């Protein structure tokens, strides 16, 4: 299944969720009415067996109770959705997760951070913050409304028990949920199903309160009502578990398949599943909030009665056999420490450090072998097949990219204090006079110490390669999310000032600014929970004209007429007719407005627009690093993560 179909299915699944939820609420209304009427004598227990029960209903009371139930469920759901408005970080906090800021003091933390960074850069998404869940069970989750506010949660049992290849398989599985839109559905599921359980909570508190007033005339009725509402609360949990199971199971098979495609290894994810089967603690988590997020986990996280009926994940053996049909049925009780004890990595270094060095060397070789292949893909329609579907070639390239970035920048990008200096460094002008103007501004306006960090990077780093720029931005976004709102506001103002210091904005500067603001505004402004109105290409004709016109003017075509390039791009849009706009009527503000409009396109029409954009930059059969950077920035803004384009 391709990225755009997955996005469309995720959108339709949200509609299915609303239908299931509505049916569950309707059932709760009927049951609550029965409890109320029985508790207060509107119905006799004997009447329930007769065919006249409906006739005996007091319909005025029925509708009043129905309104109360709907209100309670709605308020409970809205409260939870509000509580989760911070995105994936709120889910990690529910599980008492510890944010891993810097893994230099712990080899296991360093291992998982490195794996997540590689996966994110290979996927073309921001590197998500990683939270350590202090549980012995082997499990993980991805949570958030979008890649902008996504997080990865990983248990201590997972990073201490799984090998690096197995962790890659698990993280690739979670990135599939990020890329395919499953996360948004999962976090909404947590929110709206919370409302169903609120009725049971009310029953519990009514029971406690009524125990003090049993002598009153309605004391017995309140006790009966409280007990009844508690039973209804359990029924709500029953419905909620059924809904989660129905929505989640099939997506887990798809995520497993995506992980195999991403890593091109069946052994990684299958090995992780086998170790779960052979581990004493399995994948079970003890945190009481685990039940709420069970459908977001890598593997079944809770146990109980009717486990097969309510299971949010397929059985381990079924998942393994689909990945490895010739599996011998034996689980694996070894650990990552056992792996390292018996593994010699090429250069004689045993353990994680040697494993990373070996992987980096292999990536460079693979990169040389695959460069021409992926460069050729850029000149064909197959470019769209890469969106949301990274491959092992992209993963190898990401490993090489991280290895090639200067150490000073890699260290700085992981520290909340110095990460701002990294972004400022990327937009400093080559002209000495303009750069000095930019630095004077930072000296007077930046937070204490950030100017000094920026000058330190200038002294330590020179000749940064173009292909390192966007990966650095993607790595920085995770750390920038740790800023406070005032710090982010100041950072944003300073970045705009630095970019405008030469009275113009280059497309490279625009690409960095657009990606940073697109993802961080969603976090600090909490725009990610807004309801989107999906549009057709015909409704965005002018925005298409602006985007394609700017692309034609901004890219090289080696002798081809600009009008001809635009016309060829226009053909990819299908039956809508856009206009090639005059250059002096275009600016980057119009481009930003156009992209804000185009991001609301229906998922299944976005490929036509992106194919038209690709036609602009590949018209001369060559793609420069700057053109690749521009195309990736546009794709990212349209919520279509584009893996790195490897250019010869």
Give catalytic residues, as residue numbers: 174
Is residue 635 within 8 Å of residue 147, measured between CB atoms? no
Please enumerate in sequence order all residues whose Cβ is within 8 A of that of 359, keeping only pairs 6 or more positions apart, or say none. 164, 399
The residue behind tokens 């949301």 is 388
Is residue 200 within 8 Å of residue 303, measured between CB atoms? no
- State the Cα–Cα distance between residues 3 and 256, nearest whole angstrom: 15
Please enumerate in sequence order all residues whose Cβ is within 8 A of that of 20, keeping only pairs 6 or more positions apart, or say none. 243, 246, 247
CA torsion through residues 304, 307, 313, 319, sign? positive
3-state SS class at 215: coil
Please enumerate in sequence order all residues whose Cβ is within 8 A of that of 302, keeping only pairs 6 or more positions apart, or say none. 284, 285, 290, 291, 294
The residue behind tokens 């990983």 is 154
Is residue 617 within 8 Å of residue 623, measured between CB atoms? yes
Is residue 648 within 8 Å of residue 375, measured between CB atoms? yes
Nearest to 489 by CA among 513, 449, 525: 525
Which region holds residue 41: left if phi is over 0, alpha if psi is between -120 and 50, else beta?
left
Residue 207, CA distances (Å) to 42, 45, 337 in order: 20, 21, 52
Nearest to 269 by CA among 114, 402, 140: 140
Largest separation between any pair of C-alpha atoms in the chain: 94
Q: What is the DSSP string of 568-626?
A: HHHHTT-S-------GGG--HHHHHHHHHHHTTB-GGGHHHHHHHHHHHHTTTS---HH
């Amino acid at each position: 299944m391709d990225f755009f179909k997955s996005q469309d299915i995720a959108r339709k699944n949200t509609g299915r969720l609303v239908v299931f939820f509505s049916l569950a609420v309707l059932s709760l209304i009927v049951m609550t009415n029965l409890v109320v009427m029985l508790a207060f004598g509107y119905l006799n227990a004997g009447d329930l067996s007769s065919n006249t029960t409906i006739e005996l209903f007091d319909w005025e009371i029925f509708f009043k109770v129905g309104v109360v139930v709907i209100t309670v469920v709605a308020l409970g759901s809205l409260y939870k959705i509000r509580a989760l408005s911070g995105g994936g970080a709120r889910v990690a906090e529910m599980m008492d997760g510890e944010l891993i800021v810097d893994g230099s003091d712990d080899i296991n933390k360093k291992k998982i951070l490195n794996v997540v960074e590689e996966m994110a850069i290979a996927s073309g998404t921001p590197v998500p913050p990683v939270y350590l869940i202090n549980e012995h069970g082997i499990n993980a989750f991805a949570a958030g409304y979008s890649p902008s506010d996504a997080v990865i949660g990983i248990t201590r049992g997972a990073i201490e028990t799984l090998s690096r290849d197995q962790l890659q398989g698990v993280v690739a599985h979670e990135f599939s949920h990020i890329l395919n839109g499953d996360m948004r559905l999962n976090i909404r599921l947590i929110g709206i199903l919370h409302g169903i359980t609120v009725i049971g909570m009310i029953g519990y508190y009514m029971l406690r309160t009524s125990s003090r007033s049993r002598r009153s005339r309605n004391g017995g009725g309140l006790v009966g009502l409280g007990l009844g509402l508690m039973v209804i609360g359990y029924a709500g949990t029953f419905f909620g578990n059924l809904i989660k199971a129905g929505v989640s199971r099939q997506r887990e098979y798809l995520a497993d398949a995506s992980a195999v495609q991403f890593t091109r290894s069946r052994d990684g994810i299958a090995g992780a599943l086998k170790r779960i089967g052979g581990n004493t603690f399995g994948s079970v988590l003890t945190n009481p909030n685990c039940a709420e997020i069970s459908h977001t986990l890598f593997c079944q996280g809770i146990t109980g009665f009717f486990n097969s009926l309510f299971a949010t994940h397929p059985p381990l053996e079924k998942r393994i056999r689909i990945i490895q049909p010739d599996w011998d049925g034996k689980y694996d009780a070894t650990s990552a420490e056992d792996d390292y004890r018996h593994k010699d990595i090429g250069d004689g270094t045993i353990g994680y450090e040697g494993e990373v060095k070996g992987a980096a060397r292999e990536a460079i070789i693979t990169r040389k072998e695959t460069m021409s292949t992926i460069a050729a893909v850029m000149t064909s329609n197959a470019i769209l097949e890469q969106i949301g579907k990274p491959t092992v070639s992209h993963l190898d390239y990401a490993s090489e990219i991280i290895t090639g970035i200067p150490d000073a920048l890699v260290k700085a990008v992981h520290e909340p204090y110095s990460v701002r200096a990294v972004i400022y460094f990327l937009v400093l002008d080559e002209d000495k006079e303009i750069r000095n103007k930019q630095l004077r501004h930072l000296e007077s306006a930046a937070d204490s110490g950030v100017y000094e960090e920026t000058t330190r990077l200038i002294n330590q780093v020179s000749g940064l390669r173009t292909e390192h720029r966007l990966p650095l931005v993607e790595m920085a976004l995770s750390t920038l999310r740790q800023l406070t709102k005032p710090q982010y506001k100041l950072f944003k103002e300073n970045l705009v000032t630095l970019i405008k210091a030469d009275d113009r904005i280059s497309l490279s500067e625009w690409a960095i600014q657009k990606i940073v603001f697109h993802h961080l505004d969603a976090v600090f402004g909490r725009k990610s929970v807004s309801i989107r109105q999906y549009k057709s290409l015909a409704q965005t004709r002018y925005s298409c004209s602006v985007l394609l016109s700017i692309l034609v003017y901004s890219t090289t075509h080696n002798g081809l007429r600009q009008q001809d390039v635009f016309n060829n791009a226009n053909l990819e849009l299908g039956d809508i007719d856009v206009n090639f706009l005059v250059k002096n009527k275009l600016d980057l503000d119009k481009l930003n407005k156009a992209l804000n409009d185009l991001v609301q396109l229906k998922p299944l029409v976005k490929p036509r627009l992106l194919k038209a954009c690709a036609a602009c930059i590949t018209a001369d059969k060559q793609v420069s690093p700057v053109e690749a950077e521009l195309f990736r920035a546009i794709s990212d803004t349209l919520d279509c993560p584009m893996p790195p384009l490897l250019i010869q």
